[in-house]
Amino acid sequence: MKTLVANFSKQLTEAIAIGSNAKLTPSASPISNVLICGLGGSGIGGSIVSELVAGNANVPINITKGYFIPAYVNENTLVIISSYSGNTEETLNCMELAIAKKAKIVSITSGGKVAEISKQNNLDVIIVPGGMPPRSCLGFSLTQLFFILGFNKIITTNYKAELQAAVKLIDDEEQNIIAEATSIANKLIDKTPVIYATTNNEGIAIRFRQQLNENAKILCWHHIIPEMNHNELVGWTEKNDNLSVILFHDREEYSRNVTRIEINKEIIKKYTSHITEIYSKGKSNIEKAIYFIHLGDWVSVILGELRGVDLMEVNVINHLKSKLSEI
């Protein structure tokens, strides 16, 4: 896993090449909305990208992380199926439902049943390299989403150049990223992380939470600002130095959210002395997101090493899938 994290920029470079050469076909009907279907490491790219393009996308983009699709899906819907293995049962069910609704379907997968169904139904599919844990392949799925949205004229930003700039950024910053990640990981030993970010970075917070779950084998939670100011903030009422707050900051954050963060810190400091602030680097939102993702991934593997756990092991997930297959 450590090697896979270290090779993230190489994965992104390969993913850009794959997206640039993808054989996609135009939709027969005008696209009025987009639905991205996927779970876990295959699905988090949809959460992140939908936030990154919210200010540019010309139609609504929604995410589903379950077995079913919304009633509005029809021939005017672009449905993106993201399943790294190609065998995620929830996503396969969504795919079958989308086919029945005659939606425009594009899949991102390394093979499996998704690739088979795509071939049988003459559907667009982008094949990415297989054989790795899905959580280590976010670069592949996230990048293809930009190319699919761009091809279908849902977004008009120069996403390819921004992705390339993000590759250069994390390459240039790699040693600084590892040093910062090491410092953060050491602060999280024997602590329960509480992850906060503002609304436009919720996908980043979720990604970090998921990586801490799977790589470091710990529980944690996340919430977003300003929503948590209307509920969770009230829960900070007891001293608990076992909680360690991680705050993701965008250096171009909306001024009212900056004020909220400062007030939140004043309140939270009364109940835990452990608050770590992480600041974005990069010019575009894509660069900032890639930087945050890479830093968070490094924190998760370094913390896992400090805890002495097997970074790759996900036996409980395999057990769940095995039990479900028996039914």
Q: Which are the catalytic amino acids?
A: 214, 230, 321
Nearest to 103 by CA among 44, 141, 62: 62
The helix, strand and coil proportions of the chain, stated in percent and rounded to the nearest 5, come to 50, 15, 35
CA distances from 191 to 221, 253, 300 (A): 12, 28, 13
The partner residues of 36 in beta bridges, in order of sequence, read 63, 80
In contact, 186 and 248? CB cutoff 8 Å: no
Cβ neighbours of residue 57 closer than 8 Å, sequence gap 6 or more: 34, 50, 149, 154, 155
* Burial category of 5 from C-beta neighbours within 10 Å (exposed 0-12, middle 13-18, buried 19 and up): buried
Cβ neighbours of residue 130 closer than 8 Å, sequence gap 6 or more: 84, 85, 110, 111
Cβ neighbours of residue 322 closer than 8 Å, sequence gap 6 or more: none
Nearest to 194 by CA among 219, 215, 211: 219
Torsion sign over Cα 114, 115, 120, 121: positive
R_g over Cα of the chain: 20
Specify the 3-state DSSP secondary structure of 26: coil
Nearest to 211 by CA among 134, 266, 107, 275: 134
Torsion sign over Cα 280, 282, 285, 290: negative
